[in-house]
Structure 1
Amino acid sequence: MSRPLRSNFEPGSSRWAVRRAQWRALGLTDADMEKPKIAVVNTSSEMAICFSHLDGIAAKAKEAIRAAGGLPFEIRTAAPSDFIISAGRRATYILPTRDLIANDIEVQVEGAQLDGMLLLTSCDKTVPGQLMAAARLDIPALMVICGYQASGHIGNEHVDIEEVFLHAGYHAQGNTSLERLTEMSEQAIRSPGVCSGMGTANSMHSVTEALGMCLPGAAPVAALSARMWAHVEASGRRIVEMVEEDLKPRAILTAGAFRNAAAQVQAQAGSINCIKHLQAIALEAGVEIDMAREFDAAGERVPVLTAVRPIGPLSIEQFDAAGGARGVQSRLAPRLETGVLTCTGATLAQNLEGVTVSDDNVIRPLDNPWGAEAPIVLLRGSLAPVSGVVKVGLRTADRNLAFRGPARVFGDSVSAEAALKAGTIAPGAVVVLRGQGVRGGPGMGGASRLVFALEGAGMGTACAVVTDGQLSGLVNKGLVVGEVQPESAEGGPIALVEDGDMIAIDVTTKRLDLEVPEAVLAERATCFTPPEPAHDSGWLSIYERTVSPLSRGASLIERARTR
């Protein structure tokens, strides 16, 4: 190594002596201790299939780092799978675990003064958590995309984990049998890796490539495929080079990179969860940018170039084979900021030289898109002064883009589902589910269960839903507005809605309005009392007391900075 390393301490010093004693006991030589010290960040877990293959990947990554002249240290973090960690506390551990991962990494990597990080990324919250840590610590860091799972079939019918989730809502309303749901759950997942559709995990993997934080061509990739292993080995070599070059995340994570990421998500009709994750990563990188407005702007200039399930008929395998995220970038190049630096040390433009798309129907050209209008739309209005989000997907002639009806207000999904089952939610209602935001959850309880129950009851298009909670990456049949801000717990207008109030949603004009006179709302506001903290101890208590609004990425550091 030609440049000094922060991990090499002065011989004879206290830090040098105790570290040498520890590491000699581990079998390391003095020569080993002079090498670049690389954290291999592993979110392995035996509880979830999306993480079950990471120990083998970590072993291969460490071999590659050693072969390149580095010294790897494997470290572990929390491993949140939405379908496993959602069982407790009304599914509110999911989003807060993102920040726990970032803090886990900081403690171990910064505390030990390691020189670089190779981050093995899998299920959706690990991606932003690791990127947040990379931006925060600003030492050479490289993401390794660990792949999507194979999904299954029942006869000729495709089935994956998202469809199991959807049909669980149908079963709750009596429209999918237990036998059918059981069969689906047995066939949905056929290998390790993340959910196989363009949900949050695969969307964030593509975001990672758009940001320049993984090797080109890494997303998406089939878990345990030959191409995945090739990327693992190449990434192990590259991170050692990045330490030598002193190429750090903040040189890569620029405003232009974040704008490119917003364009990538819109072009792929990806997950709305990417908005808040990108906002949090930008904050850690010191980039002052409003990601909601960047998504809005990207939706105006970028068409939908691919249609992977759930918004279209394509499989993730077809998207992968056609060129994946890099193929989309090659199509979008005239509308991207291609001068941005990437982890290769080259610009995005240089990385895209010679890249082609192998199937013009899977990843279409700009002049023949799957859809000309934005699949993700930001709404604003008297009910959402900051924003609300709708995932429209591909717009068809029969897709309803406007809804107006009386509010039916609930404070939790359980009571809303009970009312639905009892037949007390009438067609034409706007179901308002509040108290689900980052403060009110805390941590954004999922609202999708209610949405799927409505669809299972045959009310998917007969009602609309407005919530300050989080939604699944699935596209809903009816109009569903999620992540309304300010949230109920902060006294936003959604906290003031009463049964019978008229609510108007219009995707075309990007409006979400509560049709109640301002004087009436002002009077109601005088009676608003912020909810008592839901937890008096534990991680969720810490999160509830320190989390910033969703518009600032639901970050823990933002509130601390503004005190």
Structure 2
Amino acid sequence: MTKKTPDTLRSARWFAPDDLRSFGHRSRMMQLGYAEEDFRGRPIIGVLNTWSELNTCHSHFRERVQDVKRGVAQAGGFAVEMPSLSVDESFTKPTSMLYRNLLAMETEEMIRSHPLDGVVLMGGCDKTTPGLVMGAISAGVPMIYLPAGPMLRGNYAGKILGSGSDAWKYWDERRAGNITDEEWLGVQGGIARSAGTCMTMGTASTMTAIADAMGLTLPGASSIPAVDSGHMRMSADCGRRITEMVWEDLTPDQIITDAACRNAAVVAMATGCSTNAVVHLIAMARRAGVNLTLDDLDALGRSTPLIANVRPSGKDYLMEDFYYAGGLRALMKQIEDRLDTSCLTVTGKTMGENLEGAQVFNDDVIRPLSNPVYKEGSLAVLRGNLCPDGAVIKPAACDPKYYQHEGPALVFDSYPEMKAAVDDEDLEITPDTVMVLRNAGPQGGPGFPEWGMLPIPKALIKQGHRDMLRISDARMSGTSYGACVLHVAPESFVGGPLALLRTGDIVRLDLDARRLDMLVPEEEIAARRAAWKAPEPRFGRGYGVMFSRHVSQADQGCDFDFLQSDYGRPTGEPDIF
């Protein structure tokens, strides 16, 4: 049943009244070359496009926006493209995570301040999915998410390359002197061959899969490769569907429920998700008033097998293979009994209806529950005297011998200090050593950079070692792998226990017990705490000051306190006229 009529459209407040303000609005639309028939009485759809000439993942979005606009027009709507903060992953320093919340703020305010009845969110590169979704949740108008899609498989000398994952592997071999300059350049040119996001199950594919599983995309849209013609058709479908959603008044609060967030977490675990999923999923859920916690995610991880054999948690395949094997719909069909299939989605149908007819076409890529890649989900949450508020590890992507480990800490206070040390071939270190990087969290980084996959020291690489236990209050790339404990909370920069650890202290990891501890007497820890002094703030002006004063810790999603739903939601839009 149609819930909206032309006179109750949100945009009608700008264009319908016979007053001076609306005269101005209509005249400026005419200045753009539009007649009143173009925009009056039709749903006005904002197409929030995160295209940028420095965002390689979104280099095809300049064309895709035309597909979206075509779909909107076919459904009787009027589309307007609105450029949004791109937050590219490759070039933004010190880290794109610093600007996720800025994109969320911009998205919310752009929607609220303009005559938009619904929005298509065009994203895909790591932080664009959570940033766009968080802002649109808070704005509350009908929205649909359009994933950028993964790039094609990498290739060099007949070998399939996975972006990110193979970069780390070949870099270690480069440092060990095992590959030539020519080979290194060949990998450089072959590892990223088209538009689209990383084709491993990194953060980009993880977050678009989460949006898909949450019901915010067209079914299976997250799996379509960026340069596939099906991606063009999906983009036009998004335009048609968002126009219908406006008439139906299908808003995000009807879709993003407790059950939808649980579904997203279960699917994330089954795909071998990025550790970054923890921070973003908690932030997205809490924008919708869903109190998702680290303990919730750990419980779901314990009971959800990893069935996507996609690098880096899987061993053999990439996202293009995953798509040909049936994509996310097929994976969700495999675990359908673990999902709440009654959840409403942007299609206006339930998840169960959207999964009808889904099939697996290659059961080595998308495994049956009887033959998982890993018996539990992708992530585990640790607690202990080093991380009382939690830390995250990706067991499926590290050597099982580190699941139970005890060794002496080698502590670095900064990234430059660590980087210099790992290239010292005379560094005194053993495979049992636990490398620690601190002052790299949300405030210390600043911005929570992806420094947590600490490089294996050259001295150990030359001995043939390729993994070791590493601990940090930083994040790591979703394309990374190894025995890395991340997101230690509270972070050391604000006085978390990691700040009190010293080189030589014994650290114990017990994955089964979900424990991470320093084996230091309590009285000694108390004495160190009393002597600890807070470092100077990282920022002295601008957005950085806002970030430092208002960002929450990793276990809370790193959102700004004043943007979370429990801070206060608008009961209605302000009288803007």
Question: TM-score, normalization: structure 2?
Answer: 0.92
Count of residues in Structure 1 that have an aligned counterpart in Structure 2: 555
Q: Which residue of 2 aligns with 1:212?
A: 215
Post-superposition CA distance 1:256-297 (Å, at most 9, x none): 11111111111111111011101111121122221x222211
**Are 1:532 and 2:536 matched, yes or no?**
yes
TM superposition shift of 1:57: 0.3
**Which amino acid counterpart does residue 547 of structure 1 have in structure 2?**
V
**Are 1:81 and 2:83 matched, yes or no?**
no
TM superposition shift of 1:234: 1.0
Other structure's SS at 2:223 match: coil
Distance 1:5 1:331, change over 3 A: same
Residue 344 of structure 2: which of 329, 341, 346 is its match? 341
Q: Which residue of 2 aligns with 1:63?
A: 70
**Which amino acid counterpart does residue 71 of structure 2 have in structure 1?**
A
Residue 557 of structure 1: which of 539, 555, 561 is its match? 561
TM superposition shift of 1:559: 7.7
Residue 273 of structure 2: which of 256, 270, 295 is its match? 270
TM superposition shift of 1:65: 0.6
Q: Residues 89-104 of structure 1 correspond to what in structure 2 (within 5 A)? A: 91-92=94-95, 94-104=96-106
Deviates more, 1:13-22 or 1:45-54: 13-22
Q: Which residue of 2 aligns with 1:187?
A: 190
TM superposition shift of 1:170: 4.9
CA distance in 2: counterparts of 1:305 and 1:414, whole angstroms:
38
Q: Residues 410-425 of structure 1 correspond to what in structure 2 (within 5 A)? A: 410-422=412-424, 423-425=426-428
**Are 1:363 and 2:366 matched, yes or no?**
yes
Other structure's SS at 2:39 match: helix
- On the 8 A contact 1:61/1:233 being kept in 2, the answer is yes
- On the 8 A contact 1:280/1:552 being kept in 2, the answer is yes
Post-superposition CA distance 1:197-224 (Å, at most 9, x none): 1000111111111000001121211112
TM superposition shift of 1:152: 2.5
Q: Which residue of 1 aligns with 2:53?
A: 46
Distance 1:2 1:184, change over 3 A: same
TM superposition shift of 1:437: 0.3
Q: Which residue of 1 aligns with 2:26?
A: 20
* Structure 1 residue ranges without an equivalent (≥5): none
Q: Which runs of 4+ in 1 moved over 6 A?
A: 559-563
**Which amino acid counterpart does residue 241 of structure 1 have in structure 2?**
E
Other structure's SS at 1:84 match: coil
Q: Which residue of 1 aligns with 2:437?
A: 433
Distance 1:547 1:177, change over 3 A: farther
Distance 1:24 1:429, change over 3 A: same
CA distance in 2: counterparts of 1:357 and 1:318, whole angstroms:
12
Other structure's SS at 2:67 match: helix
- On the 8 A contact 1:370/1:394 being kept in 2, the answer is no
Other structure's SS at 2:281 match: helix
Post-superposition CA distance 1:40-77 (Å, at most 9, x none): 01011111321111010001111111121111110111
TM superposition shift of 1:179: 3.4
**Alignment identity in percent?**
33
CA distance in 1: counterparts of 2:182 and 2:466, whole angstroms:
27
Deviates more, 1:419-428 or 1:459-468: 459-468
Deviates more, 1:166-175 or 1:338-347: 166-175
- On the 8 A contact 1:393/1:475 being kept in 2, the answer is no
TM superposition shift of 1:37: 0.8
CA distance in 2: counterparts of 1:433 and 1:382, whole angstroms:
17
**Are 1:282 and 2:285 matched, yes or no?**
yes
TM superposition shift of 1:522: 1.2
Other structure's SS at 1:431 match: strand
Distance 1:218 1:495, change over 3 A: same
Distance 1:462 1:142, change over 3 A: closer
Distance 1:558 1:389, change over 3 A: farther
Distance 1:66 1:254, change over 3 A: same
Residue 496 of structure 1: which of 496, 500, 504 is its match? 500
TM superposition shift of 1:182: 1.9
CA distance in 1: counterparts of 2:540 and 2:464, whole angstroms:
38
- On the 8 A contact 1:304/1:371 being kept in 2, the answer is yes
Distance 1:395 1:331, change over 3 A: farther
Other structure's SS at 1:344 match: coil
CA distance in 2: counterparts of 1:160 and 1:360, whole angstroms:
20
Residue 246 of structure 1: which of 236, 244, 249 is its match? 249
Q: Residues 380-529 of structure 1 correspond to what in structure 2 (within 5 A)? A: 380-393=383-396, 399-422=401-424, 423-427=426-430, 428-448=432-452, 450-451=454-455, 456=461, 463-477=468-482, 479-529=483-533
- On the 8 A contact 2:397/2:481 being kept in 1, the answer is no
Post-superposition CA distance 1:451-489 (Å, at most 9, x none): 355675557567421100011224534x21011111112
CA distance in 2: counterparts of 1:189 and 1:255, whole angstroms:
37
Residue 11 of structure 1: which of 9, 14, 17 is its match? 17
Other structure's SS at 1:130 match: helix
CA distance in 2: counterparts of 1:461 and 1:166, whole angstroms:
9
Deviates more, 1:258-267 or 1:550-559: 550-559
**Which amino acid counterpart does residue 196 of structure 1 have in structure 2?**
M
- On the 8 A contact 1:303/1:372 being kept in 2, the answer is yes
Distance 1:60 1:382, change over 3 A: same
Deviates more, 1:411-420 or 1:265-274: 411-420
Distance 1:18 1:559, change over 3 A: closer
- On the 8 A contact 1:173/1:453 being kept in 2, the answer is no
CA distance in 1: counterparts of 2:516 and 2:452, whole angstroms:
19
TM superposition shift of 1:110: 0.9
**Are 1:150 and 2:156 matched, yes or no?**
no
Question: TM-score, normalization: structure 1?
Answer: 0.94
TM superposition shift of 1:140: 0.2
CA distance in 2: counterparts of 1:160 and 1:461, whole angstroms:
18
TM superposition shift of 1:510: 1.1
- On the 8 A contact 1:548/1:556 being kept in 2, the answer is yes
TM superposition shift of 1:17: 2.1
Post-superposition CA distance 1:217-276 (Å, at most 9, x none): 212111121211121111110000000000001110111111111111111111110111
Q: Which residue of 2 aligns with 1:117?
A: 119
Other structure's SS at 2:186 match: helix
Other structure's SS at 1:185 match: helix
Distance 1:394 1:174, change over 3 A: closer
CA distance in 1: counterparts of 2:326 and 2:461, whole angstroms:
36
TM superposition shift of 1:20: 1.2
- On the 8 A contact 1:169/1:453 being kept in 2, the answer is no
**Which amino acid counterpart does residue 257 of structure 1 have in structure 2?**
A
CA distance in 2: counterparts of 1:394 and 1:416, whole angstroms:
23
Other structure's SS at 1:83 match: coil
Other structure's SS at 2:488 match: strand
CA distance in 1: counterparts of 2:359 and 2:52, whole angstroms:
37
